[in-house]
Amino acid sequence: MIRGVKFVSIPVVDQDRALAFYTEKLGFRVATDQPFDGKQRWIELAIPGADTGVVLFRTEEGPQPGGFMNMSFWTEDASATAKTLKERGVEFIAEPKKEKWGTSAIFRDSEGNRFVLSSR
């Protein structure tokens, strides 16, 4: 039976630029980086402490870079994490905001994709 989500695909324009962003700014590590086809590499990244990873892919069909992603990143403290990421040069388009259900912020990656960062 299904046991979880292995990875989530993130559309990118420039795989090298995206790889630098996710490893240098977000602290993800490379799990796999190998040729995939004539147009791109298979780049799978591991998130420290998480079972689910991300894949940086290029495609001409389906989700395109620059949109609001249908996923959120979870952290113990969204405000502290946002502060650290801003110090690393990550652009936030919505500052951390505390709600009854938790705290969230929205940031943009190197490809223009927007993600929610949240904590309880």
- 93 pLDDT more than 90: yes
Average pLDDT of the chain to the nearest whole number: 95
pTM: 0.92
Structural domains of the chain sorted by starting position, each given as residue range(s) with its CATH number in brackets: 7-119 (3.10.180.10)
Q: Which pLDDT value is given to residue 49?
A: 94
60-91 pLDDT tens trace: 887 889 999 999 999 999 999 999 999 999 99
Residue 39, pLDDT score: 87
Compute the half-sphere exposure of residue 41: CA atoms within 13 Å on the CB side of its CA. 15
Q: Looking at the predicted structure, is the pLDDT value of residue 104 above 80?
A: yes
> Which own/partner contact pairs does 61-64 have at CB distance under 8 Å and 24+ positions apart?
62/11, 63/9, 63/11, 64/11
- Phi-psi domain of 13 (left: phi exceeds 0; alpha: psi -120 through 50; beta: other): alpha
